[in-house]
Amino acid sequence: MKQRIAVILAAHGEAETAGFFDNFSMTRHTLAHAGEVMNLPVPLQLMISVAGGVKNMVQFRKKNFRSPQNEITRKQAGLLAEKLARQTDATEFDVHTSFFVTPPFVEKVVEETRHYDLQLLIPMAPIDNRLMSGSLELLAERHRPEAGRKRPKVMTGFWNDPDLLDVYRDHLFTHASPSHGSALVLAFHGTLEKDQQGREPGFHTGSREIATMAAALQQAVQNDPRNTYQRVEVAYLNHDVGGTWSSPSLQEMLETLRKENVDALELFSCGYFSDGTETLLNARDHVTESGIKKAGFIPCLNESEAFADYLAAKVHKALTP
């Protein structure tokens, strides 16, 4: 009898429309998720959610923007399912899409697949921290499997995987088209470094993992024989709640480059596995506002064949005793 394994991709999730309710709900769930580890009183969460819902509705309609993140995640799941189906006849893989802040929610998908022989939970972001892989670990602990089945397994360690660095480098240089003297900016999702009282956060932020991955990828790109960038820098896409975030922010890095007369750059949001509002809208707005004359944007790994191959190999390795 074939072993049945539920592979669950757990992405952050974003509203797929410009409607107020979808964007309010996404923001509300995002803040509730962050409120598990940060001091965000419920009244403040509601106020920010209403303001965020209105802001996104107006901005998305004005710019005719709709986040593709959820659709990209569904395509990633479809590609991974195809790859896994070719690996072995002894195991039946069902690949599921889930999200932390939009339907279908991660917890519901985990509950609905608890009858499988094994559940493999994959955080769809490269950095291990409390709010991604950590949340999945807590979820796996809460959702005890049925008798005779194993505890859900969480896939971690993307940030320190040389194989993923290779995928990143090949993806980058496949899409790169630097002009003479241009800079490359590697953008990561920033994290809280100090709370509003100047104290270090009391939860696993992933700051160390980000720094390790950023340094490794920066060096790998600089040493790659295909590299023709004049310089390779690291910057962070931050939020403005809770205290002091990672430095330099993307805005700060862009200002530094402008002051140093860099007039061409390419931006690679490598801290994300899929493009969404932060990479396609916010980051591009920051670049436009910087005054740097020429800018190019390298897509996230998204639904690339190479990334799907990598995930399939990672799944196989995770299941190998």
pTM of the model: 0.95
Q: Residue 270 has what pLDDT?
A: 97
Q: Residue 87 has what pLDDT?
A: 79
Looking only at the bridges linking them, the beta strands covering 264-268 and 294-298 are parallel
pLDDT beneath 50: ranges in the chain:
none
Q: Cβ(264)–Cβ(178) under 8 Å?
A: yes
Q: At residue 198, what are phi and psi to the nearest 5 degrees?
A: 80, 15
Query: What does the alpha-carbon distance between residue 188 and residue 237 come to, in Å, rounded to a whole number?
Result: 6
Question: Each residue of 7-30: pLDDT tens digit?
Answer: 999 999 999 999 999 999 999 999
Q: Residue 37 has what pLDDT?
A: 86
Q: Residue 196 has what pLDDT?
A: 84
Query: What does the alpha-carbon distance between residue 204 and residue 222 come to, in Å, rounded to a whole number?
Result: 30
CATH 3.40.50.1400 is right for the domain spanning 160-298: yes
Q: Residue 38 has what pLDDT?
A: 81
Question: Each residue of 148-174: pLDDT tens digit?
Answer: 678 899 999 999 999 999 999 999 999
Query: What does the alpha-carbon distance between residue 161 and residue 255 come to, in Å, rounded to a whole number?
Result: 32
Q: Cβ(13)–Cβ(69) under 8 Å?
A: yes
